[in-house]
Structure 1
Amino acid sequence: MPAIAISRGDRWQVYHRLRDLDIPAYCFPDGMLRADVSTPLAALQVRSVIYQITASRKDLVELLDRCWRVKG
């Protein structure tokens, strides 16, 4: 998986959420976060967690709006 720049505070949120999803994740002293992705589902979950943490409020609202339009 490629390296993605995430702030240190956000990194801990990503770490804990990945652990909640049973995706092995590790934070290193140098500030790096590593997630062990072994399935396509895990890759999608990692992408989703990072997006939820790093996306702007506007982007998240637009995503939610699109989901509601598809459902309705």
Structure 2
Amino acid sequence: MNKYNQKPNTCEILDVSSVDRWQVYRRLQELDIDCWCEVEKPLQVNIKNINEANQLRSVLKQFTANRRELVQLLQNCWQVS
């Protein structure tokens, strides 16, 4: 079986602060990405494909990047378009 066709394992996201964790959770829910979160537990996410992995990366960046990084990312997007 091709490893890209296998269902990925659930990953735990440990580096999201407890305050941001619920906002990340809500955003992932809006994107229809399987995730769950309990009080005092890490956010759990089930990534099914590369698109969901990229969406997860983008959502996490919104909450973990500093202002300078976010401005640079936005400027890069404007240059591409």
Into which bin does the TM-score normalised by the smaller protein fall? 0.7 to 0.9
* TM-score normalised by L of structure 1: 0.88
Q: Which has the higher helix share?
A: 1
Higher relative contact order (CA 8 A, sep 6+): 2
The alignment-based identity, stated in percent, is 42
1:11 corresponding residue in structure 2: 21
- Paired residues, number: 71
Q: Which has the higher strand share?
A: 2
* TM-score normalised by L of structure 2: 0.79
Structure 1, unaligned stretches of length 5 or more? none
Superposition CA RMSD, Å: 1.3
- Per-residue CA deviations over 1:18-70 (Å, capped at 9, x if unaligned) read 00000011112333100110111111111110011111111000110111112
Structure 2, unaligned stretches of length 5 or more? 1-10
Q: Tell me if 1:43 matches 2:65.
A: no
Moved over 6 A (4+): none
